[in-house]
Amino acid sequence: MNQLRVILLLLGCTLISARAADTRPNVVLLMADDLAATLSCYGHPQAKTPNLDALAKRSVVFHRAYCQFPHCNPSRSSMMSGLRPNTTRVTNNEDNLYTNLPEVLTLPHHFRNNGYATARCGKIFHLGVPSGLESMDDPQAWDFGTPFKSELPYPPKRESLVKVKAGKKQGLGWQEIPGDDDQLVDGNFAKTAIEWLERRDKTKPFFLAVGFHRPHLPLVAPAKYFDLYPLESISLPEAPADDEADIPAPARNGAVPGYALSCTPEQRRAAIRAYLACVSYVDAQAGRVLEAIKQMGLDDNTIILFTSDHGWHLGEHGLWHKRSLFEECARVPFILHTPGMKAAGQQSQGLIELLDVYPTLCDLCGVPAPKHLQGLSLNPLLRDPTAAIHEEAFTQARRGKDAEFWGRSIRTARWRCTEWDEGKNGIELYDHESDPQEYTNLANEPQHAAVLKELRARLAEKLRPVTK
């Protein structure tokens, strides 16, 4: 009996030692909501984002990263499952990933199964609030998760602007509020994330996902972030007066009910200012988490990824929303840091997709990647940022009164080609070498017929219509 006790004791010590010796890297996923590449490190002339700029200096900054569906639930379902929307069949905020794919194995669930302590602070999967939307969170993914509560009522306003004309809201509503950062959910997400890091199971590597709600509407932030952007300093980008003339009807302003806004120049500047204030607020909360990681001595063994679910329009092509297939909406910021990386501070122009997040984190952490994943590991680009792993990136969208128009888009290093209902309701072709703002639709130009034919063939091959 004594001999058996000794054997069991030795086995127990061995298991404890093995757990304590788990030196696989930690993962911190920082994710914004509705954030375009509106960061100083992406060359935005007005954005003040010092914390993310500092992260960029020790990371690889990917300049051509694209979401698969510029709508919250579809994009997040695709990214976290590693599957295209054609496979998830999640194409609006009401579709349920787990109903469509009952056996789906999401990224954090997979890491949890492989011995990681997992925590969610904020919005990673699509999360509803008491207004009635169902939460699309994966209950099997997390050891710890925070609720996503309504912020209403907001603290007493310092200033706001929501003008009403003919019964319709004109411009984007925004509000400056007094007080500190923790009055809004993102401050509390950062605070809760830091508290979890302090009390986590230190025998395990961790996967911490912090999902910030801003700059999603409503554009509300503490007044000190508005003070960074005097209204008179906000400039408006120039655009051709006839920009909308060659845009197919499904892609135009007004094609999605509730998204059609008519803004005066004053309202547009106010909206851009409010959006930038929210971006700086998110930057500050990300900075809190990054500083805590540093102070806890976790920097040397922690992968950090900052990205967004999709972009956002601030008046480009007359649009003030998401759910478009133009560059401002399909493109996302993507900053990736790995411990001891040799390519720190470099820029990558290689095309990547949010689908690549799942296989990349598996690769970097030594976690076996599920065979069903449809993205690729970005590890080759971390070793050589001038390399390329994709020839194209694909994005899909639905627009129209009843979301009846189905769009699909291919982005190559030079071109963007977009079809609406496989071309029945319009085709777009933009040359990014000469027209990076996508102002001139070349789809009807004979000299580009061969390029258009090739790109449409690749779209048809890769993105077959979604079956609901």
| Residues with catalytic function | 72, 126
The residues, any chain, with a CB within 8 Å of residue 120's CB and separated by 6 or more, are 108, 137, 141, 142, 144, 145, 146, 209, 211
CA distances 153 to 17, 127, 370, Å, are: 50, 19, 44
The residues, any chain, with a CB within 8 Å of residue 201's CB and separated by 6 or more, are 117
* Helix or strand (DSSP H, E) at 283: helix 265-295
Q: How would you classify the pairing of strands 415-420 and 405-411?
A: antiparallel
3-state class of 280 per DSSP?
A: helix
- DSSP for residue 422: T
What amino acid occupies position 233? Answer: S
Determine whether 15 is exposed, middle or buried from the number of CB atoms within 10 Å of its CB (0-12, 13-18, 19+): exposed
Angle at 371 between CA 367 and CA 377, to 5 degrees: 60
Q: Are 304 and 193 in contact (CB under 8 A)?
A: no
Closest CA to 112 of 138, 76, 136: 138
Query: Helix 265-295 to helix 50-57 angle, to the nearest 10 degrees?
Result: 50
Closest CA to 430 of 308, 251, 310, 307: 251
Max Cα separation, the chain? 89
3-state class of 93 per DSSP?
A: coil
Each as own residue / partner, the long-range contacts of residues 11-20 (CB below 8 Å, 24 or more positions apart, any chain) are: 16/203, 19/203, 19/204, 20/203
Question: Which residue has tokens 């909406």?
Answer: 329
Q: Are 194 and 292 in contact (CB under 8 A)?
A: yes
Kindly provide the b/e burial profile for residues 72-92, where b requires at least 16 CB atoms within 10 angstroms of the residue's own CB. bbbbbbbbbbbbbbbbbbbbe
* Helix or strand (DSSP H, E) at 174: strand 168-177
Q: Dig out the tokens for 17 from the structure.
A: 């030692």
**What is d(CA 354, CA 68) in angstroms, rounded to the nearest whole number?**
7
